Amino acid sequence: MSGSILIKGAYIVTANDKNEIIKGGDVYIDDGQIVEVGKGIKERAEHVIDGKDKLVMPGLINTHVHLAQGILRGLVPDNVALIEWLKDWVWPLQGNIDEEIMEVSTKLTLLEMINTGTSSFVATSINARYGTERVIEEVYKSGVRAAIGKQIMDIPGYADKPQILHKGLIEDPDLSLKIFNEMHSRWHGKDNRMWIWFSPRTPGAVSDELYRKIGEIVREKDSGVTMHLAEVRDDIRYFSGRGTTPGRFVRDLGMVGRKFVYVHGVWLNEEDMDIFARTGTTVSHNPSSNSKLGSGIAPVRAMIARGVNVALGTDGGPSNDSYDMVREMRLALLLQKVNSLDPTAIDVLTAVRMATRNGAFAMGIEDLVGQIKPGMRADIAVFNMRAPHLMPSVNPLSNLIYSGQGSDCTDLIVDGRFLKMSGKVLTINEEEVYEKANKYAEELLRRAELKSWM
């Protein structure tokens, strides 16, 4: 549903350069654009949102999403280390996903993100077996903005572990490049909502030659890269064995700069941080995933202090197990405080910036979205603050992040169009998704010859 929109009398978190918060403020939207922000706006609108007991902020931006893993929530044990977690569970399950199951997983993930206030995201590891075109079409129809990362590899194993990847996920690099080029020509930049990126596997699973080629193509086609980097301590052992560090490794391969988004960064050192800061390279911080898998606590406070663009991501269904960015903001705050033994390590406004403006910068769309100010596209999330877990409402933003959850979102607007309105998602059939999700989860366990772990 689209048309002119007036949000009236709300608590507005602008995320602008001054971090302004407007109490009892208004936002007027027309033709998909934010026209006016302030108090006492007199414009008439086709749709009016009563802002009483509402918090309004930019749509949240999730910089690390596994669309294929929405269907895997609860299927994978919560007490195994990363390599076993991947090799024995996640990869066999994903290696048995076909296009029909992937469509349901994609819709389930989109449904959760829209329901919890996410307006833009970066998708990782889209394998050819999933049906790339079908995935992109479902994302586009949902109304959100997305950079879709086409997976690419030329080594089926990982470093000293040959052939570790499930056979169903092994993909020829020439096929990957062909699909990337087809999708890029068809979808890249469409309506300023869809972009086609590369999603190479982790260092040790891709040759240096292929990485260099990816870097060249990205610059030639104004694309982007999303890739896991320095997630676990074992990754550093790989880089040390090559006489380098994660930051030096990607820099020397021409894989740094704008729209290069490296996920996790738990084990980056100060030199790595400086490389990323100088080149405008982004780190996507995924605190829930890092916590559940015991990967460590990323040095976010140090990254920010050194000028690195740090954004937020949720990761996937079996490692989080949520796609809720409000929860991710809270855990990002708590982990930095406990890790530094300093309650002043990071504050609420920094967390909001990571989930909005920094995410927009990561995707290269900071001139379009990430703030509530005139001239920006209207990507806006509205949260209901009239609930026992969010009262008293003296400090609504603090309440939302420390006490709230994404499902407190009542309305999500993207490009001036309602994707969620008065508590209901408008662009995806919820009941159909729920019914198929349960059916296909059981089918995946059967295909992978696995049993429920509980």
Q: Which of 70, 40, 105, 21 is nearest to 348 (CA)?
A: 21
Instruction: Tell me the C-alpha distance between 406 and 59, whole Å.
Output: 11
How many CB atoms are located within 10 Å of the residue 93 CB? Answer: 25
pTM of the model: 0.98
The predicted pLDDT at position 163 comes to 67
CA-to-CA distance for 266 and 257, rounded, in angstroms?
A: 19
- Give dist(CA 182, CA 203) in Å, integer: 25
Confidence class of residue 444 from pLDDT cuts 50, 70 and 90? very high
Can you give the C-alpha Rg of the chain in angstroms?
21
**CATH dotted code for 5-57+379-425:** 2.30.40.10
- Give pLDDT, residue 11: 98
Contact between residue 61 and residue 121 where contact means Cβ atoms under 8 Å apart: yes
Could you give the residue range(s) of every CATH 2.30.40.10 domain in the chain? 5-57+379-425
Taking only the tens place, the pLDDT of each residue in 38-70 is 999 999 999 999 999 999 999 999 999 999 999
Residue 252 in this model has a pLDDT that exceeds 80? yes
Q: Tell me the per-residue pLDDT of 147-191, one tens digit each, with 9 for 90 and over.
A: 999 999 999 877 666 668 999 999 999 999 999 999 999 999 999
How far apart CA 215 and CA 257 sit, in angstroms, is 10
Q: Which residues of the chain does CATH 3.20.20.140 include?
A: 60-363
Provide the pLDDT for residue 290.
97
Q: Is the Cα dihedral 237, 239, 240, 242 positive or negative?
A: positive
Q: Residue 1 — pLDDT band, cuts 50, 70, 90?
A: low
CA 356 to chain centre: 11
**Mean pLDDT taken over the chain:** 96
pLDDT at 269: 98
Pairing of strands 60-65, 33-38: unpaired
Pick the CATH number of 60-363 from 3.20.20.140, 3.30.565.10, 3.40.920.10, 3.30.1330.60: 3.20.20.140
